[in-house]
Amino acid sequence: MRTPSNQPVPSRVVVCRDCCCGTPKVPGVDHAEQSARLAENVPVRISDCLDVCEHANVIVVQPSTAGRAAGARPVWLGLVNDPDATEDIIDWVRAGGPGVAPCPDVLDLYTFTPPRRVARGPGSEG
């Protein structure tokens, strides 16, 4: 799903894959179907590991241009292993996503704050 370059950027979804998310480490989930269902309905980007494997499957809903203008930030959703949650995400993004449409109450169960990444300078241990 592509947006013409002269159009405002819509809300979009980042789907974590290629680590714990999207693998048999999270059993009982049709990961390919989840990604395909999202991509059929909303703008999607597949990402490598987002470093929050304890929350697999992770989906980040990014605000649209209008949502960002309203002060919205990306919403991180973890343990999205239920097809109904995937449908709730689709409905929310189609309605405008963060900053434009209220987050469905049920998605509050999946929302988490990712840890801050610390930049490591020269000489830091790692």
Give the gyration radius of the chain's Cα atoms: 15
User: What confidence score (pLDDT) does residue 68 get?
Assistant: 95
pTM for this model (two decimals): 0.85
Rounded Cα–Cα distance for residues 22 and 31 (Å):
5
Other beta carbons less than 10 A from residue 46's beta carbon: 14
User: Would you state the pLDDT for residue 7?
Assistant: 63
Percent of residues, the chain, with pLDDT higher than 70? 87
Q: Give the three-state DSSP class for 112.
A: strand
Tens of pLDDT, residues 45-92: 999 999 999 999 999 999 999 999 999 999 999 999 999 999 999 999
Token pair for 20 = 């714990």
Give the three-class secondary structure for 92.
Answer: helix
Residue 125 confidence class, pLDDT cut points 50, 70, 90: very low
Give the alpha-carbon dihedral of 42, 45, 48, 53, to 10 degrees: -30
How many other C-beta atoms lie within 10 A of the C-beta of residue 115?
Answer: 8
Rounded-to-integer distance, Cα 39 and Cα 30, Å: 14
